Amino acid sequence: MYFPKLLVLSCCAPCSCAAIKKLADDGIDATVLFYNPNIYPSAEYEKRRDEQKRACEHFKIPFIELPYEPEATDTDNWALTHGYVAITPTRIDVTDYETLKSFEF
């Protein structure tokens, strides 16, 4: 079965380790993209980033990090620190169910 290259968005290793292991075990051509400007303080961001990078190295999955921009004005962190309310959807289902049916698990 053909699988295209896969980009996995992750904000920390505990959330993605099982998925990364499965992708590596199955030989899926995947890359992990680490990004989350809402992580604060920067020491916490660095801890999560470093653990994610370590997990990727362990499973031999490429790792990409986008810039850490906690002051970006389109983040929950910025809104909360500037006296606004941040409303983040807790459930958005963007699953491509038609494609999912073609996968064999």
CA distance 52 to 46: 10
Residue 63, pLDDT score? 96
In this structure, are residues 32 and 52 in contact, taking their beta carbons and an 8 Å threshold? yes
Name 96's Cβ contacts closer than 8 Å, sequence gap at least 6. Answer: none
CB neighbourhood size of 66 (10 A): 11
4-50 pLDDT tens trace: 689 998 888 888 888 899 999 999 999 999 988 888 889 999 999 99
43-95 pLDDT tens trace: 999 999 999 999 999 999 999 999 998 778 877 777 778 888 877 655 566 67
